């Protein structure tokens, strides 16, 4: 799991810019000094830094440098997500999907996935496609599912590419045409540049 958290931390850093303290926490983490990294992230998180709040949530979710505690992970994800931080919104959707740290609630998961998806998070777009495909938290809608899978696939999400192919096989020609049109609209409005 260390590689998962480290990869996520590095992606969050590259995507959001950095500060000296945040950079120091990343360096400490990369050097295996998890205690120093977590202490720095916690300080930044308590000051309201949404990136650090999200990373701290990940640390609790995976038990990296802190005891694993899904409720604590959700607490930090929520602080970050409520500030509009897309990756935390996606993580909160995952927590609600699987009932980790919160009661399982597909409807709430869809809400958080949607918030992240419209900000260009491909994993959230794919998750939203799955929720529409399976009818979890929303009415089952294969056209909507196909469109969200397309958006995620266009962002390079390989699983979404496979999901889109499967979804396409279940669509009538008229539904596929409608799905392609919706996909174009989603791409225009929500593709990450």
- Give the pLDDT confidence of 132-183 residue by residue, as tens digits: 999 999 999 999 999 999 999 999 999 999 999 999 999 999 999 999 999 9
Q: How confident is the model at residue 8 (pLDDT cuts 50, 70, 90)?
A: low
pTM for this prediction: 0.87
User: CA–CA separation, 109 vs 13, rounded Å?
Assistant: 25
Reading the block at residue 35, the tokens are 């205690």
Residue 69 has pLDDT above 50, yes or no: yes
User: CA–CA separation, 54 vs 137, rounded Å?
Assistant: 24
State percent of the chain over pLDDT 90.
77
């Amino acid at each position: 799991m260390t590689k998962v958290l480290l990869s996520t931390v590095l992606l969050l850093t590259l995507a959001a810019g950095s500060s000296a303290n945040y950079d120091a926490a990343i360096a400490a983490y990369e050097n295996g000094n998890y205690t120093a990294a977590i202490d720095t992230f916690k300080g930044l998180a308590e000051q309201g830094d949404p990136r650090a709040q999200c990373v701290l949530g990940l640390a609790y979710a995976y038990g990296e440098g802190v005891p694993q505690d899904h409720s604590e992970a959700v607490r930090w994800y929520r602080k970050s997500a409520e500030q509009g931080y897309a990756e935390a919104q996606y993580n909160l959707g995952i927590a609600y999907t699987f009932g980790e740290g919160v009661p399982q609630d597909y409807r709430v998961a869809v809400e958080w996935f949607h918030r992240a998806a419209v900000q260009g998070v491909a994993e959230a777009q794919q998750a939203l496609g799955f929720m529409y495909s399976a009818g979890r938290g929303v009415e089952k809608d294969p056209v909507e599912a196909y469109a969200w899978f397309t958006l995620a696939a266009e962002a390079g999400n390989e699983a979404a590419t496979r999901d889109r192919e499967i979804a396409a096989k279940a669509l009538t020609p008229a539904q596929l045409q409608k799905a392609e049109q919706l996909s174009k609209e989603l791409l225009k409005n929500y593709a990450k540049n």
